[in-house]
């Protein structure tokens, strides 16, 4: 694995240190949960999940 040049403010894996610090501060203040819940809900297709659950139940019978 070739070494990549180190970028200012990033870890060796490429994580933005400042972004992580901000997320940690928000989580400590209780703001992180709301953001996560909204993000998760925005990415979830409820109808698709219901269909998958129905198919799974039908296979069990």
Looking at residue 5, its pLDDT comes to 59
Task: Retrieve residue 15's tokens.
Answer: 């994580």
Looking at residue 55, its pLDDT comes to 93
Condensed to tens digits (0 to 9), the pLDDT of residues 1-56 reads 456 556 677 878 888 888 888 888 877 776 555 556 666 666 778 889 899 999 99
Measured CA to CA, the distance from residue 52 to residue 5 in angstroms comes to: 44
Looking at residue 36, its pLDDT comes to 61
Query: Quick one: DSSP state of residue 16?
Result: B
Dihedral angle computed from the Cα positions of residues 19, 24, 29 and 38, in that order, rounded to the nearest 10 degrees: 70
Instruction: Indicate the domain borders of the chain.
Output: 17-59
Looking at residue 22, its pLDDT comes to 85
This prediction's pTM = 0.36
Query: Quick one: DSSP state of residue 41?
Result: H
């Amino acid at each position: 694995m070739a070494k990549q040049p180190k970028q200012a403010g990033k870890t060796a894996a490429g994580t933005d240190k400042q972004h992580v610090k901000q997320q940690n501060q928000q989580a400590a203040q209780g703001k992180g949960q709301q953001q996560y819940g909204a993000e998760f809900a925005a990415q979830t297709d409820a109808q698709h999940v219901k269909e998958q659950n129905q198919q799974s139940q039908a296979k069990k019978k």
